[in-house]
Amino acid sequence: MKTLIATLAALACSVSLLAKEPDRRLATAKTAFVEAGDALSDDRPIAVCLGEHLTKTTPLTLAESKVSADIVLRIFKSSISGDSTRSLLGSMGLARIEAVAPDGTKLWDGYENMSSSNKLDMIKTADVPCALADALADKLRQGMRKARDKK
């Protein structure tokens, strides 16, 4: 089990080290369209929660369609941990997010690997997708700030 935890931690560190600087267009975006990379996977509930919470945590408003959005936020490669994994390992799940411009240019990406060490209390099963979505929204806000302050 310690090997699994160490591997997950190393993966999280390596992914964050590979992330490139956000594009300046991320900071000027006003509208976003949120989509799940795979509608039949754990991407869907996280994307739904992100859409519901995005306007409360960022300056973005939701667009009706991809065409009318300044950026498209795509949730992909998500995995919500089951009750046993949360109880034994403290892992709540992981998700990736990327922001893409209307022309298809990748502007930014982020990753969240949430464990009970990230939170004081274990989150109820129904709240895990929203906890991951909120963590991704926070990373997006940080990316937007970084893009704004970029010289």
In the chain, what are the domain boundaries? Answer: 2-149
SS (H, E, C) 16-73: HHHCCCCCCHHHHCCEEEEEECCCCCCHHHHHHHHHHHHHHHCCCEECCCCCCCCEEE
| pLDDT tens, residue order, the chain (151 aa) | 555 444 455 555 444 444 578 999 999 999 999 999 999 999 999 999 999 999 999 999 999 999 999 999 999 998 887 766 666 666 778 999 999 998 899 999 998 887 765 444 545 555 889 989 999 999 999 999 999 998 6
Architecture of the domain whose range is 2-149: 2-Layer Sandwich (3.30)
